[in-house]
Chain A
């Protein structure tokens, strides 16, 4: 069982890696709170990538094939607006959309932290490792451990880069079916296998006796409804809930299987990669966006947290059926005269990595102050990124600012604030 799990997990990992690359790209662009018509790929996707590379691909594919005319009209509409009006519209919806992003990010983090604190499975160190972090961390020697974590990071990031490039190539040569199938396979893995694992661990923690028929029915229903919601149609709230759940599951897998120090270095490296991939002219994500714009296709709406406006926009824009857009946290700049909707997209991968950071803060040490500090730091980073998006009006990476703040606050709270607050609490001094 263990062997099978490991194999399956590695298989997933492989899939994820592939998907994640594409997703990462997609969501890197996306997560940059794009105000343009190009959807930002939710970080979701990235995380999703980890677990279900297939999913992200399929998800991305779908938007591309379905929303062919999307970028066009949106672009045209944007171009036709006078600048001042555009500016006003952009700013007008700023605060509301920040909150629309805060809520799912918060929910995902809450799910991850609650699981970490209650189910011990995700904090137990196992001998299994992802094939993407092959170097074992030796707790005895600091230098060796640091070196191994850097090597792990290099391996992981290069796999992600390769995956992203493969995705861009696949997209360029229009291998949509392949990506679609990949995405579906990855969602299957995530919705059925990982949720089965999760449920099993929860039952073990609370010592709940469960029979297999009931379990099969629960998992089957959960998975099938998830597949339908994610890949086809479903109520908006249900889709959003599924996206949050799969991001949380992905983040938990990362928290469990990434070695201690490697996880932190990987978080830092991936935000740097996000920055480069989205902003550099030759970055894979940027190339993806540009290719999609050339073809007048929406960029990978798959695995995006969707808001209610998706359906309305879908109906208004005849070339864009809503299903492909369902997961996107879409801030699509829709420019009608009387019916203004401002869309922002955040990638699933961003969700996943935010939750990984907060989850790791919760897992190590058991100090709630550190978790709270990381949570506030990430939210403020997201706020700042959205502010930058409102100012620059182009695709921006959503990871760097939040992850930097999160890392800074994690290490400083853990090492500086914790002893201070503990001493204060011991004497009951209040500041």
Chain B
């Protein structure tokens, strides 16, 4: 994000009297607007990088460290989930690529239409692969129970659902965000062709929402498959399509970000209740904390 820090009156006889870029040394941009005037814009590259990285990956990293890292089986399921998401992306990119190559590359509206088709097809394929991963995990449950730790605590389907969802989310977030993060380290100017100034932060926020959404969808989806409630699966698929569709409204960020966060919150609540939580357990958690706090 570039903002103006100060306006300095400089006599710079070597500069031409043009409005334009003089120099960019990696963090400071000099623009000449007049013979005597140089505007100095400060682009905070490293701050943008760290801010966006923590927004996008902070919660998922925390979830990983606190719930996944200690258990080797969960780590394996996480990475396999990431692999399945990657497979779905690969196949949908293949389809999109074939469509692109078969069409006229000069027709921009057609290209855009094909990209939108690619988005929706990719969403559908992701859900198909989520279902495939569910089937694989169910089949392997007995085997997994055998290779789990000494105390014999096998991993439950609900835990697998959470871990699988998180795997999908982390991989999806990483693929959306990592290139953008590395570009944000600079040098560069945001929105030099008139695009929005808020590119990085909205990308980070959207990535965060999608990561959390994938986790919640994983929980809900597996639960729906377990109980054979097909309306749940249909709901997850349509929610995913809705979120992808809302992202098509970008760069009109008011139209995409708030609704997506509302959906994230709602899905989070749904996942909480679907995985066995209740208001009672929440209040029990609070009172137990209080009791533990009082006793200690």
Closest to B75 in A: A99
Contact (Cβ within 8 A) A417 B171: no
Q: Does B131 contact A (CB under 8 A)?
A: no
Across-interface contacts of A412 in B (CB, < 8 A) = 90, 93-94
Distance of A333 from chain B, by nearest CB (Å): 16
B149 contacts across to A, CB distance below 8 A:
92, 95-96
Question: From A420, which residue of chain B is reached at the shortest CB distance?
Answer: B93
B215, CB-defined interface residue at 8 Å: no
Determine whether B65 belongs to the interface, using a CB cutoff of 8 Å to chain A.
no
Looking across the interface, which residue of chain B has its beta carbon closest to that of A419?
B97
Flag whether A372 is at the interface (Cβ < 8 A).
yes
**B123 adjacent to chain A (CB < 8 Å):** yes
Which residue, of A383, A409, A423, has the highest number of chain B Cβ atoms within 10 A? A423
Main secondary structure of the interface of B (DSSP, over half): helix
Contact of B80 with A by CB under 8 A: yes
Any chain A CB within 8 A of the CB of B146? yes
A404 CB–B CB distance under 8 Å:
no
Give the contact stretch, choosing among A27-35, A350-358, A374-382: A374-382
CB A340 to nearest CB in B, in angstroms, measures 9
Query: A102: which of B75, B143, B150, B251 is its contact (CB, 8 Å)?
Result: B75
Residue A153 is within 8 A (CB to CB) of chain B in the complex: no
Residues of B within 8 A of A173 (CB): none
* A136 CB within 8 Å of chain B: no
**B77, closest chain A residue (CB):** A95
State the CA gap A39–B126 with chains docked (Å): 41
Tell me if A212 is interfacial: C-beta within 8 Å of chain B: no
Chain B interface residue count, CB cutoff 8 Å, equals 52
A86 to chain B, nearest CB (A): 13
Flag if A416 contacts B79 (CB, 8 Å). no
Number of A-B contacts (CB under 8 A): 121
- Selecting from B4-12, B178-186, B277-285, the interface stretch reads B178-186
Within 8 Å of chain B (Cβ to Cβ): is A1? no
Beyond A417-B93, A427-B250, is A95–B175 a contact (Cβ under 8 Å)? no
* Chain A CB within 8 A of B275 CB: no
Q: Which of A102, A369, A372, A390 contacts B147 (CB 8 A)?
A: A390
A427–B115 touching, CB < 8 Å: yes
Q: How many angstroms between the C-alpha atoms of A423 and B147 in the bound complex?
A: 43
Considering only CB atoms, which chain B residue lies closest to A417 in the complex? B93
Indicate if A159 sits at the interface (CB-CB under 8 A). no
Minimum C-beta distance from B267 to chain A (A): 15
Chain B residues with CB under 8 A of A372 = 174-175, 178
Chain B residues contacting A423 (CB-CB under 8 Å) are 115
Q: Judge whether B147 and A91 touch: CB under 8 Å.
A: yes
A142 at interface by CB-CB < 8 Å: no
Q: A88-B146, A424-B115 are in contact. List 14 more A-B contacts (CB 8 A).
A: A91-B143, A91-B146, A95-B73, A367-B179, A372-B174, A372-B178, A416-B90, A421-B176, A422-B179, A424-B119, A427-B112, A429-B244, A429-B247, A431-B119
Name 27 A/B residue pairs within 8 A (Cβ), A-sorted: A91-B146, A92-B146, A92-B147, A98-B76, A367-B179, A369-B175, A372-B178, A376-B82, A390-B147, A409-B86, A412-B94, A416-B90, A420-B118, A421-B93, A421-B175, A421-B176, A421-B179, A428-B206, A428-B250, A428-B251, A429-B115, A430-B176, A430-B206, A430-B210, A430-B244, A431-B122, A431-B123
Residue numbers of A with Cβ under 8 A of B are 88, 91-96, 98-99, 102, 367-369, 372-373, 376-377, 379-380, 383, 390, 409, 412-413, 415-417, 419-425, 427-431
